[in-house]
Chain A
Amino acid sequence: MRFLKTSEAAALLNVSPNTLRAWERRFGYPKPQRSPGRHRLYTYGEIASLRDALHEGLSISSAVSRAREGLTADTHSLVGALTSFELERADVAMEAALALRSLERAVEEVLLPSMDEVAKRQGLDSAPWAFAAHWGVAWLRRAQRLAPPPTRPLSVVIGDATRDDLDPDAAQVRAFELFCVRAGARILSLSARGIQGMGEALAHRDPSIVVIAGNHLPDDDVARWAYNVRLAAGPLPIALFRRGHQPPRVRTTGAQVLPTGALAAQQRLLELVEEFRAAPAAYVDPRDTASDLLPRVARNGGQSSA
C-alpha cells in the first residue's frame, strides 16, 4: 500500500494542499488516514482514481462521485463472488480492494459490508452466508497470522462469546482482533465458555485489559468467565464489544462498552488502556464480584437493571 503526504497528493492532482483539505471538508473525499504524528496520509489508489475522474468530469462533485463508485465496485465484486461460491474470485476482489486502501479500510469498507450484504440478501441460514462467513473469518485469521510482531506493551485477552464462524458477530470480532494485532498489541483469544486452565494461559501474558466480544453467550456465563480472569490475572479493566444493547457506562468500575465498528473499537481500546494506566481505581474495584462485572441486561428488552 502506497501512501502520499498532503503535499504529494496535492501535486498529483495539480491543486494546492488547501484545496485538498477543502474537498475533504465539503465532499468527504479523499478521506485520509492519520500518521502517528496526526498528519494526513492519502492512499495512492484513491488519489489516482480522483485524478482520472477529474480529467473526465464536469464538476468536483461528479468526479468525487465517480471515484467513489470505483471504490464501491470492489464491494459489488466481492458480494458477487461470495454469492457465486467462488473462493478465488473473492480473494481477487479483496486484493483489488487492498490496492486502493489500507488493510483496515479494506476490511471495514469492503469485506465486512460485503458479508453484511450477503447476510441481508440471503439470510443467516442460507448456503451463501455459510460460504461467506467461513471465507471472511478465514481471510481475517490469515491476515492476522501475517501481521507484524507486537510492538506495544499491551496484552489483550479476548473472551469470545460468539457462537461459531456463522455467528454474524464472528467476522467483526476477528476484524477487531486483527486491528489490535496490527496496532502492535499481543492478543490472547479464548472461548468465554471455558475456565479450565485459564491460569496457565494468562500466566505468561500479563494482560492489560479484558474484552468480552460477541453476543451469543448469556451475561451470567461471561461474567463468571471475566471474574475468573480477574482472579487469575489480578484487577483488570473489562470492555464489551458487540454485546448487543448496553448502556454506555453502567457504574464507575463496571465494564466499558466499545463502539460497534471494529476499527473504532480498537482505537477506543487503546485509549481505555491509557486511561486505566493513568487512574486504575476509576476502572477496577478489587471488591467486585462476578455479578458486578457486567451490567445485567434483559436479553429481550435490552433494558439495564443494574
Chain B
Amino acid sequence: MSEFPARAALRLVQPAPVELQPIARFCGHCGNPPTAAQPSTRVCDRCGLGLVLETVVEAAPSRGAPFLVLDTGLMICAMSAAAQRELAVDETEAVHRHVNELLVAADAEPGTRASLADVVVRAARGDGETTTIAVRPAHTFGVFFEARIAPCGPPRAALVVLH
C-alpha cells in the first residue's frame, strides 16, 4: 500500500494575466523620443546630451517639460534642460545632490513632506504607480509644482515631472 495520498497536494496554478503597460522612450535632457523606434544607442540621437530612458506612457514627459530623475537614495541622477532653467541649476552641479536641496514637498499640502520621499523611493524601486503630489523649490515660497512621480529606467529610478 502506498504511503503517498491518492490526490496530489500541489496543483498547477495558472498565473493571472499580466497587463503590459505601453512604454514610452524619452531623452533625459531634451525630453524628446528617439528618432528610431528601436534605438541602437542609449545616447539621444537628437541632442546628444542625454540618455534615452523608458517609462509608462501616462508618466512620460512631454517635449521640453521640466523633469528630474532620482535614485533610491533620493539623489539627483539627471535633469532635463527645462528643469535646469526652472530650478536655476546646471545638471553638472545638481547630479549627486539630494533632491531636497532643490525640491521639497509643499508645506501647504498636509502630510506631503513624508510622502515625497516615500513615493520617490517606491518609484525608484520600480514598484510604485504613477503618483502626483505638490512640491516647491527649496528656499522658495509661493511657487508650487505638481510633481508626477513614476518609475523609469534603465537602471531603475524615479521620474519626477514638474507641471
Interface residues of A (CB under 8 A from B): 13-16, 18-19, 22-23, 26-27, 54-63, 65
Contacts and interface: CB of A to CB of B under 8 A. Distances in A.
Given A59-B28, A65-B95, A54 B43 contact: yes
Contact of B51 (A19, A27, A59, A65): A59
Contacts of A27: 92
Contacts of A16: 48
A58 B92 contact: no
Contact of B91 (A14, A15, A59): A59
A65 B78 contact: no
Nearest to B156: A58
B136 interface: no
16 contacts: A19-B43, A22-B48, A26-B49, A54-B42, A58-B28, A58-B51, A58-B153, A58-B155, A59-B29, A59-B91, A59-B95, A60-B51, A61-B92, A62-B78, A63-B51, A65-B95
B51 A13 contact: no
Contacts of A15: 41, 43, 48
Interface string B23-65: 0000011000000000011110000111101000000000000
Count class of interface residues, chain B: 20 to 34
Contacts of A58: 28, 51, 53, 69, 71, 77-78, 153, 155, 157
Contacts of A14: 40-41, 43
Contacts, number: 61
The 3 closest A-B pairs by CB, nearest first: A59-B78, A19-B48, A58-B77
B48 A18 contact: yes
Contacts of A26: 49, 92
A254 B121 CA distance: 65
A19 B46 CA distance: 10
A151 B53 CA distance: 51
A197 B123 CA distance: 77
Q: Which of A15, A16, A18, A62: most chain B CB closer than 10 A? A: A62
Contacts of B48: 15-16, 18-19, 22-23
A14 B42 CA distance: 9
Contacts of B95: 59, 61-62, 65
Given A19-B48, A26-B92, 9 more contacts: A14-B43, A22-B48, A23-B48, A23-B49, A26-B49, A54-B43, A55-B42, A59-B51, A59-B79
B158 to A, nearest CB: 10
B43 A62 contact: no
Nearest to B159: A58
Contacts of B91: 59, 61
A65 B91 CA distance: 12
A69 to B, nearest CB: 10
A65 to B, nearest CB: 6
Contacts of B79: 59
Contacts of B113: none
Nearest to B69: A58
A223 B38 CA distance: 70
Interface in B140-159: 153, 155, 157
**Residue of A23, A57, A58, A62 with most chain B CB atoms under a 10 A cut-off:** A58
